[in-house]
């Protein structure tokens, strides 16, 4: 009986160590991403104009905040690496990461689609970019069938062209027209 309890405890320790390693890897990736974004935003804040009356200027506070965030992310990343090594390394992380990506494929796809949307918005304008974005996003979430395609087209038209008309006619606010239609 003692041998079975010892083996079960050893198995639980192995599972929890692998689980801790995977969790720490996810944290490490997030720390790297947030730290990298903080460094980029800190360097962009350096380009803000300085004031004639204030010695620090407009970019000082954002630079300070983003630099501090980058340093904290670096410290947290080092701690995550130490925890991964303590937990026994990254055995089986590749398969777990692949499974994680597969489960979250729609969310990741939507974020990628949103990035493309933001990239093409200045060229295509709000109405066209929003129509295509909403149509593809709805089909990604609901699946493709005759009924969902029709519903997605109607909803995308209402929320892209309809919002553009609402803002232009009621609020007198003009959404981006894009380079293609600026003529």
pTM for the model: 0.63
What's the pLDDT tens digit per position in 42-97?
888 888 777 777 777 777 888 899 999 999 999 999 999 898 888 777 777 777 77
CA-to-CA distance for 23 and 135, rounded, in angstroms?
A: 35
Contact status, residue 61 vs residue 37, Cβ threshold 8 Å: no
Q: Among the residues of 46-162, which ranges form H helices?
A: 60-86, 93-103, 105-124, 126-142, 146-157
- The secondary element (H helix, E strand) that includes residue 22 is helix 2-45
What's the pLDDT tens digit per position in 35-47?
999 999 988 888 8
**Sign of the C-alpha dihedral, residues 40, 41, 47, 52?**
negative
């Amino acid at each position: 009986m003692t041998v079975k309890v010892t083996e079960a405890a050893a198995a639980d320790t192995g599972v929890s160590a692998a689980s801790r390693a995977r969790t720490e890897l996810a944290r490490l990736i997030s720390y790297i991403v947030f730290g990298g974004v903080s460094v980029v935003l800190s360097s962009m804040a350096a380009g803000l104009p300085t004031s004639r009356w204030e010695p620090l200027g407009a970019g000082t506070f954002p630079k300070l905040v983003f630099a501090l965030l980058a340093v904290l992310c670096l410290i947290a990343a080092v701690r995550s690496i130490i925890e991964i090594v303590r937990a026994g390394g990254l055995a089986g992380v590749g398969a777990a990461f692949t499974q994680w990506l597969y489960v979250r494929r729609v969310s990741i796809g939507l974020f990628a689609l949103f990035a493309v949307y933001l990239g093409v918005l200045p060229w295509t304008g709000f109405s066209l970019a929003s129509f295509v974005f909403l149509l593809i996003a709805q089909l990604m979430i609901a699946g493709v069938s005759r009924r969902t395609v029709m519903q997605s087209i109607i909803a995308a038209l209402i929320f892209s062209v309809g919002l553009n008309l609402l803002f232009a006619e009621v609020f007198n606010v003009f959404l981006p027209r894009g380079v293609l239609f600026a003529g």
